[in-house]
Structure 1
Amino acid sequence: MTTETSYALTRPAYVDQSHLVVTDLPLVSSFYQSMLGLEVIENSASGEVLGVDGTPLLTLTTGKDVRIAPRNAAGLFHTAFLMPSRTELARWLRHAAHNNVVLDGASDHLVSEAIYLSDPEGNGIEIYADRPHEQWKFHQDGQVEMATLRLDLQSLYNSAPDDAWDGMAGGTAIGHIHLQVGNIPEADTFYRDVLGLKLMAQRPGASFFATGGYHHHVAANVWNSRGAGPRADGMTGLSDYTLCFNDKASLDKAVAKLDELEINSEKRNGGVFLHDPWGIGLTLSA
């Protein structure tokens, strides 16, 4: 069953796909299939592409020289899978509870309701549903009102339909990606001033960026990684992700800024590939 496109994906730019490097491909892939309900879309010698309804969301790859990234390395804080409705979030929670999925936490962020967990190699995951955009509150500077309140998991669980769960619903997407970086001023400079995303919210040690009035498409924090330098080759965790532009003018502006600042980039797979200041790969595509 397909659903209306989520608000996050209708903005000028949004996160399209994410790519994780893992040590145990069968174990991690099995987790994303059985616990999150993603399906294998494509197999290759070094990895798999997982997604929903034939739409790629997550690439998993491995290699002989892969090594575990330290907890304080720059990289992934979590990949956030956006459900098309609160009902689907409740349905997933019911599935998780019946399959003894270990949760790391759950929060009401005012703009969304979110559940947190980790995959078998410690990659953070958020499963969330947005509240209707018209219910969000904005400050005069355009930033959005967000908070971290306790989420009533029992109430959410009780709202789930009593039916069989058969995987992620059509319309599920990567709503945002949350990064670990070395320092916030440098993240602000890169995501706001270079790529042109708007700073939508700030917390101690964290910034949240988006386009088109979304609460955040990309977040960056230093909670585990303050002072971290660029990622080393062969580290597990987040290799790269894709920022897809619905608005070609915004893409052209971002690419022109890269050229102006002489930031290294290259054309790859129909997009422009570069690294952020911490060596996390990023593809800008239309």
Structure 2
Amino acid sequence: MTGTAANRAGAETPAMTEQTDSHAIRMPAYVDHAHLVVRDLSMVSSWYQSVMGLTPIEKTASGEVLGVAGRPLLTLTTQGNTEVAPRNAPGLFHTAFLVPDRLALGRWLAHVADNNVPLQGASDHLVSEAIYIGDPEGNGIEVYRDRPRAEWDYADNGMVKMATLRLDLQALYDEAPKGGWDGMADGTAIGHVHLQVSDIPEADAFFRDVLGLDLMATYPGASFFASGKYHHHIAANIWNSRGAAKRQANMTGLADYTVHFNDTAKLQSAIARLDALEIPVTRNGETVSLIDPWGIGLKLSA
């Protein structure tokens, strides 16, 4: 019996034993926030508000915090010496915004279609349905909805089965109510971040062996990591960035992102492994900040 068939028959699965609440942000650890450095703050912020339906939450000296229903999701900042990151630089492949359900995904699709926003792709990943676009400065974005975990298929080794199949955009559009879109649905969160790195074995060692995430899937040139048997909270690929030098601090794109630990013990274990490897960290209350092996900022919080 396949994992999917077993799930439908009511058999216990790794997902069910790990967490009864299957949402990405209910796992022992999850991605809480992303921070982008941009060149044109006003223009990019306006775009995220009008196209992505995010709302301003806070203004800072150098930027803005945007989110959904008061939940901060994205910080945008700018600086005087910012340089455009080359395409092969380590950093962001895409930020993935997880919407509550297929209806919310369809409503957003109808919104961007009606406003002639170009799509970069759309895929059925078995565990999810995803649509891809880029912001005005080239930062990748995924908007997706998860299928119920009862429909996910786990292999005997605990990994989840994913694929990249054609998504029927016309059917998704046809099912959605038209007009009256007033922003992302309440409950929208960052489901995962997908990174460009320079080496996959190094990524496996960092995200699995240091941060303590599970390796949930592998593709040629990519690994997918998660907590709580989610399909992935962090992905890393070398498709554009194999062997690339570290990211520079003044580059546009992903300055840092935050992994929040619902399980404090897992955070303390990760910090202990960072200390054992003598990876420099900065502590600010319950938040630990560091630079990962590819020059990307990372914050760990509880």
TM-score (norm 2): 0.92
1:115, 1:126 within 8 Å by CA — same for their partners in 2?
Answer: yes
1:225-264 matches, within 5 Å, as 225-264=241-280
Q: Does 1:119 align with 2:128?
A: no
Q: Aligned pair 1:103/2:128, yes or no?
A: no
Give me the whole-angstrom Cα distance separating, in 2, the residues matched to 1:11 and 1:268. 23
Equivalent residue letter for 1:150: R
Task: Give the conservation status (yes or no) of the 8 Å contact 1:81–1:126.
Answer: yes
Equivalent pair of 2:22/2:230 in contact (CA under 8 Å): no
Cα-to-partner distance string for 1:136-169 (whole Å, 9 max, x where unaligned): 0000000000000000000000111234100011
1:209 alignment counterpart: 225
RMSD between aligned residues:
1.0
**Cα displacement (A) at 1:45:** 2.3
- Structure 2 Cα separation of the partners of residues 162 and 122 of structure 1: 28
- 8 Å contact kept, 1:6–1:171: no
Cα distance in 2, alignment partners of residues 273 and 230 from structure 1 = 17
2:189 to 169, 173, 187: 173
What aligned pairs does 1:117-196 form with structure 2 within 5 A after superposition?
117-196=133-212
Instruction: Report how many aligned residue pairs link the two structures.
Output: 282
Contact 2:249 2:295 in 1 (8 A): no
CA distance in 2, matches of 1:270, 1:21: 24
**Match 2:43 to one of 4, 11, 27:** 27
Distance 2:280 2:149 in 1: 37
| Alignment correspondent of 2:109 | 93
Q: How far off is 1:196 after superposition?
A: 0.4
| Structure 1 partner of 2:6 | none
CA drift of 1:105 comes to 0.4
1:85-114 Cα distance to aligned partner (Å, 9 max, x none): 111000000001000011000000000000
Q: Which runs of 4+ in 1 moved over 4 A?
A: none
Deviation string 1:219-256 (CA, Å, 9 cap, x unpaired) is 00000101112111210000000000011111111111
The TM-score with structure 1 as length reference comes to 0.97
SS in 1 for 2:81: coil
Moved more, 262-271 or 92-101: 262-271
Q: Find the counterpart in structure 1 of residue 15 from structure 2.
A: none
Residue 190 of structure 1 aligns with an amino acid whose one-letter code is: F
Identity of aligned residues (%): 66
**Alpha-carbon separation, structure 1, partners of 2:56 and 2:26:** 25
> Cα offset for 1:202?
0.2
Contact 2:22 2:149 in 1 (8 A): no
Partner of 1:7: 23
Secondary structure of 2:106's partner? helix
Does the 8 Å CA contact 1:6/1:84 hold for their aligned counterparts?
no
Aligned residue for 1:94, secondary structure, equals helix
Which consecutive residues of structure 1, in runs of 5 or more, have no partner in the other structure?
none
- 1:186-245: CA deviations, max 9, x gaps? 000000001000000000000000000100000000001011121112100000000000
Unmatched segments (≥5 aa) in structure 2: 1-20
CA drift of 1:269 comes to 5.8
